[in-house]
């Protein structure tokens, strides 16, 4: 029943709002800040005007990049803004009036929309595979030569995008240890991100403020379509723009190999919450960037060869970040502007449980409880979440007493379908979650005087007997190295050296 209502809503919105238009963009230098303005319209009557401010830019930097190249980079950033606003109505047509795209570029952007919005399509039960679901066209047909004007960057400086989680802290520490010339870059930095940059020794980091049009939040409250958009893809375009302006040759993300694994299958496609963090996206963006944005800038992920649990082990050595890092999405949610964010680990979501689990084998339990506020393994309400993490698509919600003796209602089936698969969060692979639980159980089991908390006790009784090779699997994962990466030999050597260290 819920699915039918969603499909009816989508059909009505697409009919009522047939066209999304990227009308224009503009920019100006104001008080050493680059202010960028975008103008979108969902015909016939909905207007959006998001803004971006890149702080502390000397005018000479803008002059060095050149007008045509800067316009091209800003135009592309506007293209990356589209998913956030287009998703409200899923208009059948996107018209680009602000600039020019050739057929290859249009194909690339359509691919990004389909893969980057996969979770949004799944959760709103949208048939994105049907013929003519989305058409993208441009009104300006001219060759794109802007990239040719952009001068070469001879510097070897590295720009490191920093969020509030552990991964970017690890990238910072390892590159700093290797005496690389690095600078931090952060979009709408949270307190956690500010503290990580401060503790990491980043002086005068590059700060960008993104201001979403309030009308988007209003439409969300009114019941228009809403859902996940590919934030890391947005960060890719923004970081290349920042690197071009400030003269950084390298952009070192902190995305890991775990992001390559999808969540569920829908309409014949694998839906991956982390697609814009994946190696697939990284490869596609690198190729696009070198051809259409800035051929001399190298975009890559420094931690790409590693699983999340390997990164957790590296992070465990940097106790100075323990009290400040925060990667729980619930901590920043505002319910479309109706509540204030908590800015602390919620202790109840998949991301909290996953982070707790991968850190548990390597961090003193007392310190971990201080970070999360409690021992999450004692929370019986997290059993379903734990099973989702370690079973992925094989997970089926356990029948409750009320539904066991009767057929599931349509609503119950909708709830059941929504729970299937790995959680839509930035969590690790099913296999590494299983290994992390095994290592956590093994650590706790080693202390005979300590009782097993609920989740580890359940793991021991119900899960462990099904797997006889977890000791071997744990060693394999902890020593793993994915060759699908874009690291130079020098950077590869730096990371391998740290991963191979004992203890």
DSSP string, 386-437: HHHHHHGGG--PPPPHHHHTSPPPHHHHHHHHHH-SS-SSS---HHHHHHHH
The first and second tokens of residue 246, run together, are 């400030």
Residues 48 and 114 in one domain: yes
> What are the Cα distances from residue 189, in Å, to 165, 203, 206, 217, 334?
12, 14, 10, 20, 16
Domain span holding position 242:
2-301
How crowded is residue 356: how many other Cβ atoms within 10 Å of its Cβ? 25
The first and second tokens of residue 91, run together, are 């208009």
Report pTM.
Answer: 0.93
| Torsion over CA: 210, 215, 221, 223 (sign) | negative
Residues 188 and 55 in one domain: yes
Give yes or no for a contact between 259 and 277, defined as CB atoms under 8 angstroms apart: yes
Residues 209 and 356 in one domain: no
Residues 287 and 331 in one domain: no
Residue 416, pLDDT score: 44
Report yes or no on 412 lying in a domain.
Answer: yes
Q: What are phi and psi of 96, to 5 degrees?
A: -100, 105
Residue that terminates a domain, selected from 282, 301, 320? 301
Q: pLDDT in tens for each of the 503 residues of the chain?
A: 578 888 889 999 999 999 999 999 999 998 899 999 999 999 998 999 999 999 999 888 888 898 999 999 999 999 999 999 999 999 999 999 999 999 999 999 999 999 999 999 999 999 999 989 999 999 876 655 555 456 567 688 999 999 999 999 999 999 999 999 999 999 999 999 999 999 999 999 999 999 999 999 999 999 999 999 999 999 999 999 999 999 999 999 999 999 999 999 998 999 999 999 999 999 999 999 999 999 999 999 999 999 999 999 999 999 999 999 999 988 888 776 677 888 899 999 999 999 999 999 999 999 999 999 999 999 999 999 999 999 987 776 654 433 333 344 434 433 444 456 799 999 999 999 999 999 999 998 867 666 899 999 999 999 999 999 999 999 999 999 999 999 999 999 999 999 998 76
DSSP state of 200: T
Report yes or no on 496 lying in a domain.
Answer: no
Residues 26 and 150 in one domain: yes
Report yes or no on 488 lying in a domain.
Answer: no
> What are the Cα distances from residue 224, in Å, to 86, 124, 227, 330, 414?
11, 11, 10, 22, 20
Residues 82 and 142 in one domain: yes
- Between vectors from CA 35 to CA 30 and to CA 38, what angle results, nearest 5°? 145
Residues 68 and 164 in one domain: yes
Report yes or no on 139 lying in a domain.
Answer: yes
Assign 326 to helix, strand or coil: coil
Instruction: Return the exposure string of 308-336: e unless at least 16 CB atoms fall within 10 Å of the residue's CB, then b.
Output: bbbbbbbbbebeebbebbbbbebbeeeee
Dist. CA 472–CA 60, nearest whole Å: 57
Residues 105 and 226 in one domain: yes
Report yes or no on 344 lying in a domain.
Answer: yes
Q: How many structural domains compose the chain?
A: 2
Report yes or no on 468 lying in a domain.
Answer: yes
Radius of gyration of the chain (CA): 23
- Between vectors from CA 337 to CA 332 and to CA 339, what angle results, nearest 5°? 65
Residues 261 and 387 in one domain: no
Residue 403, pLDDT score: 37
Residue 298: CA count within 13 A, CB half-sphere: 17
Give yes or no for a contact between 116 and 83, defined as CB atoms under 8 angstroms apart: yes
Contacts of 327 (CB under 8 A, 6+ apart): 163, 164, 165, 166, 192, 351, 355, 426
Dist. CA 146–CA 63, nearest whole Å: 14
Give yes or no for a contact between 468 and 290, defined as CB atoms under 8 angstroms apart: no
Residue that terminates a domain, selected from 249, 271, 301? 301
> What are the Cα distances from residue 115, in Å, to 118, 276, 486?
5, 8, 21
Residue 101: CA count within 13 A, CB half-sphere: 23
Report yes or no on 498 lying in a domain.
Answer: no
Residue that terminates a domain, selected from 258, 275, 301? 301
Bridge partners, 93 (sequence order): 19, 135
Report yes or no on 487 lying in a domain.
Answer: no
DSSP letters, 113-182, are HHHHTHHHHHHTT--TTSTTS-EEEEEE-----HHHHSPP-----EEEE--SSHHHHHHHHHHHHTT--E
Residue 139, pLDDT score: 84
Contacts of 150 (CB under 8 A, 6+ apart): 65, 66, 69, 244, 294, 295, 296
Dist. CA 300–CA 256, nearest whole Å: 11
CATH of the domain at 91: 3.40.50.620
Dist. CA 216–CA 88, nearest whole Å: 8
> What are the Cα distances from residue 414, in Å, to 69, 288, 498?
48, 39, 46
Residues 326 and 216 in one domain: no
Residues 219 and 338 in one domain: no
Question: Which residue carries 């970081």 as its tokens?
Answer: 239
Contacts of 7 (CB under 8 A, 6+ apart): 125, 126, 127
Residues 290 and 361 in one domain: no
Assign 230 to helix, strand or coil: coil
Distance, C-alpha 441 to centroid of its chain: 29
């Amino acid at each position: 029943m819920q699915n039918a209502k969603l499909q009816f809503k989508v059909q009505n919105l697409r009919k009522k709002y047939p066209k999304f238009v990227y009308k224009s963009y503009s920019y100006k230098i104001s008080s050493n800040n680059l202010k960028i303005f975008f103008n979108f319209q969902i015909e016939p009557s909905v207007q959006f005007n998001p803004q971006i401010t890149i702080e502390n830019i000397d005018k000479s930097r803008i002059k060095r990049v050149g007008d045509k190249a800067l316009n091209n980079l800003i135009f592309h950033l506007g293209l990356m803004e589209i998913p956030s606003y287009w998703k409200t109505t899923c208009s059948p047509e996107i018209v680009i009036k602000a600039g020019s795209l050739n057929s290859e570029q249009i194909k690339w952007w359509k691919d990004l929309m389909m893969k980057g919005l996969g979770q949004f399509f799944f959760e709103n039960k949208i048939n994105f595979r049907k013929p003519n679901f989305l058409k993208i066209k441009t009104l300006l047909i001219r060759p794109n030569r802007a990239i040719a004007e952009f001068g070469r960057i001879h510097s070897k400086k590295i720009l490191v995008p920093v969020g509030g989680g552990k991964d970017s802290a690890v990238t910072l520490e390892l590159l700093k240890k290797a005496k690389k010339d690095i600078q931090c870059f952060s979009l709408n930095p949270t307190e956690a991100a500010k503290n990580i940059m401060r503790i990491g020794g980043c002086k005068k980091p590059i700060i960008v403020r993104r201001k979403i049009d309030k009308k988007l939040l209003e439409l969300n409250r009114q019941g228009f379509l809403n859902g996940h958009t590919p934030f890391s893809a947005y960060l890719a375009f923004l970081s290349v723009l920042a690197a071009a302006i400030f003269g950084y040759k390298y952009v070192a993300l902190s995305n890991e190999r775990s992001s390559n694994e999808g969540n569920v299958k829908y309409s014949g496609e694998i839906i991956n919450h982390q697609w814009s963090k994946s190696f697939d996206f990284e490869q596609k963006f690198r190729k696009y960037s070198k051809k259409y944005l800035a051929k001399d800038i190298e975009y890559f992920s420094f931690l790409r060869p590693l699983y999340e649990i390997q990164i957790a082990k590296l992070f465990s050595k940097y106790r100075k970040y323990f009290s400040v890092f925060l990667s729980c999405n619930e901590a920043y949610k505002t319910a479309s502007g109706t509540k204030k964010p908590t800015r602390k680990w919620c202790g109840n979501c998949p991301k909290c449980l996953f982070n707790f689990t991968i850190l548990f084998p390597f961090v003193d339990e007392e310190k971990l409880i201080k970070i999360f506020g409690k021992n999450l393994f004692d929370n019986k309400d997290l059993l379903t979440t734990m099973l989702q993490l370690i079973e992925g698509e094989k997970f089926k919600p356990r029948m409750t007493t009320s539904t066991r003796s009767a057929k599931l209602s349509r609503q119950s089936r909708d709830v059941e379908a929504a729970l299937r698969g790995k959680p839509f969060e930035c969590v690790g692979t099913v296999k590494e979650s299983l290994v992390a639980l095994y290592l956590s159980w093994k650590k706790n089991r080693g202390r005979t005087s300590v009782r097993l908390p609920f989740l580890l006790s359940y793991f021991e009784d119900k899960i462990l007997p099904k797997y006889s090779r977890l000791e071997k699997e744990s060693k394999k994962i902890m020593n793993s190295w994915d060759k699908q990466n874009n690291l130079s030999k020098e950077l590869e050597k730096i990371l391998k050296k740290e991963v191979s260290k004992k203890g």
